């Protein structure tokens, strides 16, 4: 079996795409767990038990390119009103959780 350069490039591209998808799914799962824990610590309810990808962009951080991912979610303090929140990851590290102003 003779591999052409184009075959190797296609194989590398497919492998990179699969790895990127797997890595993004892993970080999304981390974001969901972090959002649940944060809401529970403040006695809030994470609505629909989900986070949704909001932004994904490369970022230069301490001499390396990392992916900055932002996920949005909704929570409630009373079970009636809905408020929005965001959680940001730089690479695989959580950098920020923001909650919109809400009533307790």
Mean pLDDT of the residues in the chain: 91
How far is Cα 7 from Cα 13, in angstroms, rounded to an integer? 10
How far is Cα 30 from Cα 27, in angstroms, rounded to an integer? 5
Contact 47, 74 (CB under 8 A): yes
Structural domain spans, the chain: 5-99
Q: Which of 79, 77, 78 is nearest to 99 (CA)?
A: 77
Model pLDDT for residues 1-22, shown as the tens digit of each residue: 688 999 999 999 999 999 989 9
pLDDT of residue 1: 67
């Amino acid at each position: 079996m003779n591999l052409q350069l184009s075959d190797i490039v296609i194989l590398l591209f497919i492998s990179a795409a699969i790895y990127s998808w797997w890595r993004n799914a892993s970080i999304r799962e981390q974001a969901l767990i972090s959002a649940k824990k944060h809401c529970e610590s403040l006695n809030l309810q994470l609505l629909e038990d989900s986070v949704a990808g909001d932004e994904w962009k490369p970022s230069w951080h301490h001499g390396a390119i990392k992916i900055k991912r932002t996920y949005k979610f909704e929570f409630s303090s009373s079970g009636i009103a809905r408020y929005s929140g965001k959680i940001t990851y730089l690479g695989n590290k959580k950098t920020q959780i923001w909650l919109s102003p809400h009533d307790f």
